[in-house]
Chain A
Amino acid sequence: MKKIYDWFNERLQLEDLVHFLGKKYVPIHSHSVWYYFGGISVFLFIIQVSTGILLLLYYKAGEDQAFESILFIMSKVQFGWLIRSIHSWAANLFVLSAVIHMFSVYFEKAYRKPREMTWVTGMLMLFLLLGFGFSGYLLPWNELAFFATKVGTDIMGVIPVVGKPIMVLLRGGEEVTGATLTRFFGFHVAVLPGIFTVLISLHLIFVQRQGMSETEEFSNTPENEKGKMPFFPNFLLRDLLLWLLVLNILAILAVFFPWELGHKADAFASAPAGIRPEWYFMFMFQSLKLIPAKILFIDGELLGILSFGLAFALWLFVPFWDRKTAQGHRNRFLNYLGIFVIAFILLMTIYGWLS
């Protein structure tokens, strides 16, 4: 090992990197556990990229081929079933892990100066992640995905002025057709990954440059009492331990709960019962269902969509309007707001699943 290290070190001056990593510390406090969700998200991103590339070897986008190619992957390709199931399960765990990561950063107020850009890039990645989920859901071209995409894109069409053009752009026409499928495929494997790679690179560079955010309580602790852990190798090894755990969970899920393929989409068939979006869209779907058709003179659905749009915009720019935290004060309002948002999402998701 030493000889190999020396061989590389002689050529690449690895000592500098080891020195840099050796100097990097991770704060240890009662909330340190939340730091790991960033690492888990990165791990799941790597899994998605690798399994996605493997699926690309056999997947064929097209109205007449998509479903059949997935069927082929599931039944004929060696370990195809495993790759597809892991890709599908990892996508869901990725969203879950990223949402937990986002809320932990929110409650720790880790977005405060100087990490506003880290927050914004993270939030943009979360939006892209939802885009990945939405576009990827259609790719097997099965019944549920077809109608869920129809409903999802219909909702976008409600937005005034820009809604209809966006809907047509996404669908590649007025209706969900094979054109939509190839379009979504393009978004899923080229457009979104391209943007995501830039954002994740920036996000990681920001984290490396600025180090881990410390909680307010930790910052106020005297320097000699602060608990710290070297990033390399201690924190990274812990990360590795969690990654192995996630890998185990993924393997168990893929074997015991293989991702179903369902029936091939048929545009002329009537919509099957129980059409639901993916769980991470459920709270929005359910809220829109519950909003009355008209509120005063405004269309209820439109009001709902605009409200969600405004809420997401406010959430994205929270570092810029949370003046209290920026001034070093505790912002209880944002804590209560965060708890309300989590409770709202949970309640609406559960209600959506039960109804």
Chain B
Amino acid sequence: MKKIYYVLSLLLISLGAWTVMAAEDQCIACHTGLGDAPSTLFKKDIHQQKGVSCADCHGGDRTADDPDKAMSKDHGYKGVPKGNNIIKACINCHDNADKMKTFGSSLKTNQFKLFATSVHGGTSLDGAEWVAQCTTCHGAHGVSPVASPSSPVYPTNVIKTCSKCHSNPQYMKQYNPSLPVDQLEKYHTSMHGKLNAKGNTEVAECASCHGSHNIYKPSDARSTVYAIKLPATCSKCHSDAEKMKKYNIPTDQYEKYAGSVHGKALLEKHDVGAPACNDCHGNHGAMPPGIESISNVCGTCHALNADLFSSSPHKKAFDQRKYPECQTCHSNHAIVPATDALIGVSQGATCVKCHSPQESSKGYEAAKVMRHLLDTLSASEQSAAAIVEDALQKGMEVGEAKFKLRDVHQARLESRTMVHSFSVPKFQEVIDKGMKVSAEVSHEGQGALDEYRFRRYGLGVATGIITLLSLLVYLYIRRLEKK
């Protein structure tokens, strides 16, 4: 009896060993024995944990313990996938929702579709493969879930991953010589970069703004950093009160910007030349501009205004009082179109914020005079335009006067710019120029109206004379024929 138990025990042990041998991935078993890097890394790979075998990507027979048989082409062994075969190997599962479910994954399966249209889905230099492969960003044998700190695309790691190529001038110039390679450097100077370096995974990193699989050129309307879409991209975080609470920064910038002259131009009129968030704050090196540098930031577009301001007495006064330059009068995110109402001493004027008849009365008087001059030019332009319009309505030729009206309008615009010199004589010079042209236009328009009246009266007189002559001829005929 004892012998029978003994034999049965041996049989069971042999059966167990055979079952274990049959279930064990022979690729892992063998390569672990060799101690190579892929097999070492693969032990931590999410794929290994989910039951994906080496053979699922490399082909071959995972059950064969004979290497020649396991890596035989007859058993579908493909070797190390190269070029686009890497992506093909990945999408074998990642493009197939049903297959992904069998591994217990709820990951999306549209990565390749997005990737194929992206800038990285373009063809590489040799034209034989896509610019990037899955492994370029995610690694090969040590692939971790995106949420894992060991993943190369984890928020604190992705910066390095992207910069592998994007900070390499030799590599980048092969694809786009004009594309800067200093994004990483700038990013480190930004508040985003600083916090990211401290391990903050909430702040914006490359993928937060550019996306991951669906990255397009910023000039591509599909891109999340395309000028029109950029404010919404930034506001994903910056309008999130909960998220911003701990940083103690406001969350109404987008709302204010959308209602501003810049926001309306960009978001409503789709004028991509209008400034978005990055035009003032920078993009990779995003930071709020310093108080003294605001005029330089605004001056990138409003160059003349900035120059005039810099050489005006206000520059020194603002610097001393630490007033933010352009922002003090025009606000920052909620910049509305500048009207004449901004200047002067009446209600709504910005000058009276600092100037009063009692304190700094010189500036108060200057503001009063400048507003008066602006109003005078504006009224003169309106009057000249009305005269020209009246003459036009009456069918008179006033093309030249109408053309000159543009000069008056131009002078008024110029005067608004000249406001930033905060010098009455300089301002008066521009106003006088506009007033002179406006007077000429009014004179020409009035001349056309006089001519119109002259034509009407002239016609009356001419018709009267011709009718009188006709009457005389008629009477003469009658007298002649009575004889």
Chain A contacts to B: CB under 8 angstroms: 71, 74-75, 81-82, 233-234, 237-238, 240-241, 244-245, 247-248, 251-252, 255, 258, 261
* The stretch of B263-271, B415-423, B465-473 that contacts the partner chain: B465-473
- Chain B hits for A261, CB < 8 A: 397
Which of A71, A82, A252, A258 makes the CB contact (< 8 A) with B395?
A258
Q: Is the CB of A81 within 8 A of B473?
A: no
Q: Is the CB of A251 within 8 A of B459?
A: yes
* A252→B469 CA distance, assembly (Å): 17
Q: Is the CB of A234 within 8 A of B481?
A: yes
Which of A74, A81, A240, A248 makes the CB contact (< 8 A) with B463?
A248
* A82→B395 CA distance, assembly (Å): 13
Which of B397, B473, B477 makes the CB contact (< 8 A) with A244?
B473
Q: Is the CB of A75 within 8 A of B459?
A: no
Which of A82, A237, A251 makes the CB contact (< 8 A) with B473?
A237
- Chain B hits for A233, CB < 8 A: 480
- Contacts A234-B480, A248-B467, A255-B459 hold; do A241 and B397 have CB atoms under 8 A apart? no
The minimal Cβ–Cβ distance linking A146 to chain B, given in whole angstroms, is 19
* A81→B397 CA distance, assembly (Å): 9
**Any A CB within 8 A of the CB of B30:** no
Q: Is the CB of B466 within 8 A of A240?
A: no
The minimal Cβ–Cβ distance linking A106 to chain B, given in whole angstroms, is 29
| Top 7 A-B pairs, shortest CB-CB distance | A75-B397, A255-B459, A244-B470, A248-B466, A241-B473, A237-B477, A74-B397
- Contacts A75-B399, A81-B397 hold; do A251 and B476 have CB atoms under 8 A apart? no
The minimal Cβ–Cβ distance linking B443 to chain A, given in whole angstroms, is 14
**Any A CB within 8 A of the CB of B474:** yes
Which of B397, B399, B455, B476 makes the CB contact (< 8 A) with A237?
B476
Which of A71, A240, A252 makes the CB contact (< 8 A) with B397?
A71
| Given A237-B473, A251-B466, A252-B459: 19 more A-B contacts, CB < 8 Å | A71-B397, A71-B399, A75-B400, A82-B455, A234-B481, A237-B480, A238-B477, A241-B470, A241-B473, A241-B474, A244-B467, A245-B470, A248-B463, A248-B466, A248-B470, A251-B462, A255-B455, A255-B456, A258-B395
- Chain A hits for B467, CB < 8 A: 244, 248
Interface string of B394-437 (1 = CB under 8 A from A): 01011110000000000000000000000000000000000000
Within 8 A of A (CB), among B431-469: 455-456, 458-459, 462-463, 466-467, 469
- Chain B hits for A71, CB < 8 A: 397, 399
- Chain B hits for A75, CB < 8 A: 397-400
* A81→B394 CA distance, assembly (Å): 14
The minimal Cβ–Cβ distance linking B311 to chain A, given in whole angstroms, is 44
- Chain B hits for A248, CB < 8 A: 463, 466-467, 470
With both beta carbons as reference points, the residue of chain A lying nearest to B451 in the complex is identified as A81
The minimal Cβ–Cβ distance linking B49 to chain A, given in whole angstroms, is 67
Which of B395, B463, B474, B480 makes the CB contact (< 8 A) with A251?
B463
- Chain B hits for A258, CB < 8 A: 395
Within 8 A of A (CB), among B144-171: none
Q: Is the CB of B473 within 8 A of A240?
A: yes
* A233→B456 CA distance, assembly (Å): 34
- Chain B hits for A244, CB < 8 A: 466-467, 469-470, 473
Sample (15) of A-B pairs whose CB atoms are under 8 Å apart: A71-B397, A75-B399, A75-B400, A81-B397, A233-B480, A238-B477, A240-B473, A241-B477, A244-B467, A244-B469, A244-B473, A248-B463, A251-B466, A255-B456, A261-B397
The minimal Cβ–Cβ distance linking A243 to chain B, given in whole angstroms, is 9
- Chain B hits for A82, CB < 8 A: 455
The minimal Cβ–Cβ distance linking A239 to chain B, given in whole angstroms, is 10
Q: Is the CB of B477 within 8 A of A234?
A: yes
The minimal Cβ–Cβ distance linking B444 to chain A, given in whole angstroms, is 10
- Chain A hits for B458, CB < 8 A: 255
Q: Is the CB of A247 within 8 A of B397?
A: no
* A238→B397 CA distance, assembly (Å): 38
With both beta carbons as reference points, the residue of chain B lying nearest to A244 in the complex is identified as B470
With both beta carbons as reference points, the residue of chain A lying nearest to B470 in the complex is identified as A244
* A199→B463 CA distance, assembly (Å): 33
* A71→B398 CA distance, assembly (Å): 10
- Chain B hits for A245, CB < 8 A: 470
The minimal Cβ–Cβ distance linking A255 to chain B, given in whole angstroms, is 4
Between A82, A247, A248, the greatest number of chain B beta carbons within 10 A of the residue's beta carbon is seen for: A248
- Chain A hits for B466, CB < 8 A: 244, 247-248, 251
With both beta carbons as reference points, the residue of chain A lying nearest to B444 in the complex is identified as A75
* A238→B477 CA distance, assembly (Å): 8
* A75→B456 CA distance, assembly (Å): 16
The minimal Cβ–Cβ distance linking A35 to chain B, given in whole angstroms, is 15
With both beta carbons as reference points, the residue of chain A lying nearest to B477 in the complex is identified as A237
* A82→B462 CA distance, assembly (Å): 12
The minimal Cβ–Cβ distance linking B447 to chain A, given in whole angstroms, is 10
* A82→B480 CA distance, assembly (Å): 36
* A167→B463 CA distance, assembly (Å): 44
- Chain A hits for B455, CB < 8 A: 81-82, 255
* A251→B466 CA distance, assembly (Å): 10
- Chain A hits for B474, CB < 8 A: 241
The minimal Cβ–Cβ distance linking A338 to chain B, given in whole angstroms, is 32
* A153→B267 CA distance, assembly (Å): 50
